[in-house]
Structure 1
Amino acid sequence: MKKPFMERFGDFMAGKGFYIVLFLCVAAIGISGYYLFSSLSPDKDPGTAVAGPAQVTVTPTPASASPAVRVTPTPSPQAQTAVRTTPAPSPTPAATPAATPQPAAPTVFAWPVKGTLISEYSVEALAYDATMGDWRTHSGIDISAELGAQVVSAAAGTVIDVVQDDFMGTTVYLDHGSGLTSCYANLAAVPTVEIGDTVRAGDVLGSVGKTAIAESALPAHLHFEMAQDGSPIDPADYLP
């Protein structure tokens, strides 16, 4: 009686069939390994088809050549040639002109008019003023003289002012240097000197008048004052 196929296959596998199947499996593994190794070998013929993803080599297209631009490099500060700069000469300061020395004030004065002293210098004590009817200071001296008598410079100097004072009438001021000045008031309306005139001792400045309203109660006279640096001083200390 013929055995079924499965029994016969089982008998076959229990005998020589097992070894045959094992051989076939080993052979199949070897063949597969051979082909796999051949596909990875660099010496493979390029015409042989290879399984797996194809490798594509892309050659970049060269860009159009740009026109060459010539760049001149800027030299570094270290590479620059040292330039020796000659400093500009400092301007010579202008010489300061020496101050013109003021002439020394005269030490001797002359009486500006011939006459009698009727009012003395008084700035520390009050003196009675007959014109104003009160007691007040008197910053000069009053020398009586005939109306129209010549009034002269008590010392050399320069005329620095000629004014028509509301109280002391026509007045002439002289600068004698070193801050010393003299004043001639109650002159006639028109003096004989002008501002800027240089006079010597004894030069005529004007004449005795009656233009000083503040001393109109006194007889005709010359009101004479002196000052040092603007402060009144006693003329009697300078007159002979």
Structure 2
Amino acid sequence: MKKPFLKRMGDFLEGKGFYIVLFLCVAAIGISGYYLFTSLSPEEADATVNAPVHITVTPTPTAPSQPPATPTPVQTPKPVQTTNPAVSDTPAPAAAGTTTQTVPTVFAWPVQGEVLSDFSVETLAYDQTMEDWRVHAALDLAAAAGTEVRATAAGTVTDLVEDALMGTTVVIDHGAGLTSTYANLAAVPTVEVGDSVLAGDVIGAVGQTAIAESALPDHLHFVMQQDGEPVNPLDYLPD
């Protein structure tokens, strides 16, 4: 009895099916390998790499050449002729307003009167006004108020002071570091700063402005200094 078709196909596949499936798998792998191999062919890679590359270089425009600048000639200055001034043996005159002071050789008493308080810097002397013992770096010469006070030597008036203790004061510079100071003067002296005086010239009058010596009779407080240090006026005044 002849078997039906489906039965015969089932028997066939059951007996030969394994080999058929194996063949189809091998064929599928072969076809896939072929296409993979052909896609990675060295000829195609070389063709891609060896393709010519076109590079376009655009030249940089250059500025138009200019003719070289014509150098400007440098003018050499002409030497200036100078003449040597004539040398004169005559000394040039001193500038206006300048004076040359020399050490005075003539001294005069500023006032004529008794010495009320002597010069004393090494021994303390009693001060009647302050009622204490202190040095006295001056001569106190008795003279009535209003008596003219004269410069003791030639010089220049350098200061007019209203001293809180010694009253109206005039300072004269005699040169070479020697100065004289006149205190307890009347309120208005007769000289001004910058005045030049000679020995015996009137510079003011005895007053009563020195409150630090108000206990004494009317007098002139007279000071002399050498290089800022007090010196005894009696060493300069004539006998």
Q: TM-score w.r.t. structure 2 length?
A: 0.60
Match of 1:161 among 159, 162, 168: 159
- Larger mean Cα displacement after TM superposition, 134-143 or 101-110: 101-110
Distance 1:101 1:162 in 2: 21
Contact 1:107 1:238 in 2 (8 A): no
When the two structures are aligned, how many residues end up with a matched partner? 166
Shift of 1:143: 0.7
Q: Percent identity?
A: 61
Quote the residue 2:66 is aligned against: 71
Distance 1:157 1:204 in 2: 13
Distance 1:230 1:145 in 2: 27
Q: Does 1:189 align with 2:187?
A: yes
Structure 2: gaps (5+ residues): 1-60, 81-92
Letter of the 1:118 counterpart: L
Quote the residue 1:210 is aligned against: 208
SS in 2 for 1:151: strand
Quote the residue 1:118 is aligned against: 116
Quote the residue 2:3 is aligned against: none
Distance 2:102 2:78 in 1: 48
Structure 1: gaps (5+ residues): 1-65, 90-96
Distance 1:203 1:147, change over 3 A: same
Higher alpha-carbon Rg: 1
Distance 1:163 1:103 in 2: 23
- Any idea what the Cα deviations from partners look like across 1:154-183, whole Å, max 9, x if unmatched? 111221111211110111111112222110
Contact 2:118 2:140 in 1 (8 A): yes
Distance 1:86 1:126, change over 3 A: farther
Match of 2:173 among 169, 172, 175: 175
Shift of 1:219: 1.1
Written as runs of structure 1 = structure 2, the 5 A alignment for 1:43-54 is none
Letter of the 1:120 counterpart: D
Q: TM-score w.r.t. structure 1 length?
A: 0.60
Distance 2:69 2:75 in 1: 21
Distance 1:164 1:67 in 2: 90
Quote the residue 1:229 is aligned against: 227
SS in 1 for 2:170: strand
Quote the residue 1:220 is aligned against: 218
Distance 1:69 1:197 in 2: 85
Distance 1:87 1:161, change over 3 A: farther
Distance 1:122 1:85 in 2: 79
